[in-house]
Structure 1
Amino acid sequence: MTFYTYHYLTTQHSTWQYLRIALLIALLVAFMGLFFYYLRHRWNVKYKDLSIITGTLLLLVLGLQINSLVSLRSASEQTGEITGIVTNVAQQLRVSPKKLAVNATTSNTNLLIKAPDGYYRLDYNSDNSAYLIEKVTLHQPKIKLVKE
Structure 2
Amino acid sequence: MDFYSYEYLISNQDNSRLIKLIVVGLLVVIIGVFFFLYMRNRFEIKYKDLGIIFATTLLLVIAIQYNDYSNLLTTQKQTGQITGTIKETAKQLGVKPKQVSVNSTTQTDGLLVNTPKGFFRIDFNTDGSSFLLEKIELHNPKINVVRR
Q: Same-fold call, TM > 0.5?
A: yes
Q: Provide the residue aligned with 1:71 in structure 2.
A: 71
Q: Secondary structure at the match of 1:139?
A: coil
Q: Secondary structure at the match of 1:104?
A: coil
Q: Which runs of 5+ in 1 are unaligned?
A: none
How many angstroms apart in 2 are the aligned matches of 1:127 and 1:52?
50
Q: Which moved more, 1:72-81 or 1:125-134?
A: 125-134
| Residues 56 and 5 (structure 1), Cα distance of their counterparts in 2 relative to 1, 3 Å cut | same
Cα distance, 1:54 vs. partner?
A: 0.7
Q: Which moved more, 1:45-54 or 1:80-89?
A: 45-54
Pairing 1:111–2:111 present: yes
Residue pairs, 1:6-45, within 5 angstroms? 6-45=6-45
Cα distance, 1:55 vs. partner?
A: 0.4
Residue pairs, 1:1-148, within 5 angstroms? 1-148=1-148
Cα distance, 1:31 vs. partner?
A: 0.7
TM-score, normalised relative to structure 2: 0.94
How many pairs were matched up? 148
How many angstroms apart in 2 are the aligned matches of 1:128 and 1:58?
41
Q: Which moved more, 1:124-133 or 1:2-11?
A: 124-133
- After TM superposition, the runs of 4+ consecutive aligned structure 1 residues lying more than 6 A away are none
TM-score, normalised relative to structure 1: 0.94
Aligned CA RMSD, in angstroms, stands at 1.2
How many angstroms apart in 1 are the aligned matches of 2:50 and 2:125?
60
Percent identity, aligned pairs only? Answer: 42
